[in-house]
């Protein structure tokens, strides 16, 4: 297994990394804020949508690698509730990406035993986007490998507000008492309900903030930030993040 990953590691880094990325203590849930697509395009004098297209092509590599490393859940922040403020042509283009991605990748995801999942509000997503994602969820629902959780039209405060509303409704219907509201119960009302919390959060492109992403679920998560723009992100960067995660958790993990 380890030998396989050495392909992804450049010569001068090879010795340290291959030794250090072990198959034990691989984070079980990795969440990624795939930032820097627009900046990548701007640097090349290309339209922002060219950056999004390039960013989409990185996803395959990371999904494959996550799956073979034995990661259980990969959450990808594809579109935030704030992203609607972008120019209409960019939003329209972004809303076509789930279809574009799935029309090519769905057969491979099925074959690789990946289970597609969605987190976010379906309200205000175009019907064609919902149809493509629903089809992928349906076709992969029996799969038992990597859970590929796309955050689409997702915002963490909205998610929490919705959870609070739904809990309040249960209380006023007499199905729940206020004293029964605890950590575990709140978990069940979030959009991640059946998922474990992320062990590792990766954010690309140099921004050191959460931007309304999984605020509740990231309470105990290790964070890894990099200046690398998402379209330039490689398997090697992913291994580096996991390596850092393993070093940090080894310090107080176990014994
Ligand atoms: C999007 C490409 C990756 C970089 C970040 C922003 C642009 C994949 C999807 C997707 C979503 C749901 C799904 C399958 C694929 C996607 C949007 C943007 C809106 F079921 N990439 N990608 N969706 N980008």
Are the C-beta atoms of 192 and 217 separated by less than 8 Å? yes
Segments forming the whole domain that contains residue 44: 25-155+203-241
Q: The domain spanning residue 88 has which CATH number? A: 3.40.1180.10
**83 part of the active site:** yes
pLDDT tens, position by position, 100-155: 999 999 999 999 999 999 999 999 999 999 999 999 999 999 999 999 999 999 99
Is the per-residue pLDDT at 16 higher than 50? Answer: no
Q: Which residues fall within 8 angstroms of residue 75, CB to CB, at 6 or more apart? A: 29, 30, 31, 32, 119, 149, 150, 151, 195, 198, 214
Residue at 89 is within a domain: yes
- CA-nearest residue, atom 18 of ligand 1: 78
Residue 18 has pLDDT above 50, yes or no: no
The mean pLDDT value for 7-16 works out to: 46
Contact 190, 217 (CB under 8 A): yes
Q: Residue 53 domain-assigned?
A: yes
Query: What confidence tier does 23 reach under pLDDT thresholds 50, 70, 90?
Result: confident
Say whether pLDDT at 3 is over 80: no
Structural domain total, the chain: 1
Q: What is the mean pLDDT of residues 164-180?
A: 98
Question: What tens digit of pLDDT does each residue of 229-248 get?
Answer: 999 999 999 999 999 999 99
Pocket test for ligand 1, best of 35, 101, 125 (most atoms within 8 A of CB): 101
Place of tokens 């990795």: 30
pLDDT tens digit string along 186-226?
A: 999 999 999 999 999 999 999 999 999 999 999 999 999 99
The per-residue pLDDT for 21 is: 73
Between CA 4 and CA 18 the distance in angstroms is: 10
Q: What tens digit of pLDDT does each residue of 29-67 get?
A: 999 999 999 999 999 999 999 999 999 999 999 999 999
Q: Beta partners for 132?
A: none
Q: Which pLDDT band holds residue 20 (cuts at 50, 70, 90)?
A: low
Q: Which residue has the higher pLDDT, 3 or 215?
A: 215
253 in a domain, yes or no?
no
The atom of ligand 1 lying closest to the CA of 231 is 4
37 touches ligand 1 (CB under 6 Å): yes
Whether residue 94 is contained in a domain is answered as yes
Q: What is the pTM of this model?
A: 0.92
Question: Would you place residue 252 in the very low, low, confident or very high pLDDT band (cuts 50, 70, 90)?
Answer: low
Task: Tell how far the Cα of 57 is from the centroid of ligand 1, in angstroms.
Answer: 10
Is the per-residue pLDDT at 10 higher than 50?
Answer: no
CA distance from start to end of the chain: 26
Cβ of 101 below 6 Å from ligand 1: yes
The answer, yes or no, to whether any atom of ligand 1 lies below 6 A from the CB of 106, is no
CB of residue 230 inside a 6 A radius of ligand 1:
yes
Q: Is the CB of 33 under 6 A from ligand 1?
A: no
| Ligand 1 close to Cβ of residue 78 (< 6 A) | yes
Q: Is the CB of 150 under 6 A from ligand 1?
A: yes
Pairing of strands 222-225, 200-203: parallel
What is the residue with the minimal CA distance to atom 2 of ligand 1?
Answer: 56
Q: Is residue 96 a contact partner of residue 79, using CB atoms and an 8 Å limit?
A: no
What's the gap in Å between 142 CA and the centre of ligand 1? Answer: 22
Ligand 1 centroid to 117 CA: how many Å?
Answer: 13
At residue 219's C-alpha, the angle toward residues 216 and 221, to 5°, is 120
CA 33 / ligand 1 centre spacing (Å): 11
Question: Which carries the bigger pLDDT value, residue 20 or residue 48?
Answer: 48
In angstroms, the CA 106 to CA 136 distance is: 7
User: Which of these is catalytic: 83, 135, 143, 212?
Assistant: 83
């Amino acid at each position: 297994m380890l030998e396989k990953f050495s392909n992804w590691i450049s010569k001068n880094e090879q010795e340290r990394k291959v030794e250090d990325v072990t198959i034990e203590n691989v984070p079980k849930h990795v969440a990624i804020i795939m930032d820097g697509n627009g900046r990548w395009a701007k640097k090349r004098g290309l339209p922002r949508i060219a950056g999004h297209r390039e960013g989409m092509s990185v996803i395959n590599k990371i999904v494959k690698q996550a799956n073979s490393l034995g990661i259980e859940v990969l959450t990808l922040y594809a579109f935030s509730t704030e992203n609607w403020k972008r120019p209409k042509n960019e939003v329209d283009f972004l809303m076509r990406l789930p279809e574009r991605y799935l029309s090519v990748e769905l057969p491979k995801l099925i074959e690789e035993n990946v289970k597609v999942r969605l987190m976010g509000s379906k309200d205000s997503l175009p019907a064609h986007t919902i149809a493509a994602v629903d089809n992928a969820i349906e076709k992969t629902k029996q799969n038992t490998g990597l859970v590929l959780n796309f955050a689409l039209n997702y915002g963490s405060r909205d998610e929490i507000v919705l959870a609070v509303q739904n809990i309040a409704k249960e209380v006023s219907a007499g199905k729940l008492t206020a004293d029964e509201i605890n950590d575990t119960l709140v978990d069940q009302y979030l959009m991640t309900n059946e998922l474990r919390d992320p062990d590792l959060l990766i954010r690309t492109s140099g921004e050191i903030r959460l931007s309304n992403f999984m605020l509740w679920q990231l309470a105990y998560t290790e964070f890894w930030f990099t200046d690398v723009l998402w379209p330039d992100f490689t398997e090697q960067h992913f291994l580096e993040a996991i390596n850092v995660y393993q070093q940090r958790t080894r310090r107080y993990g176990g014994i």
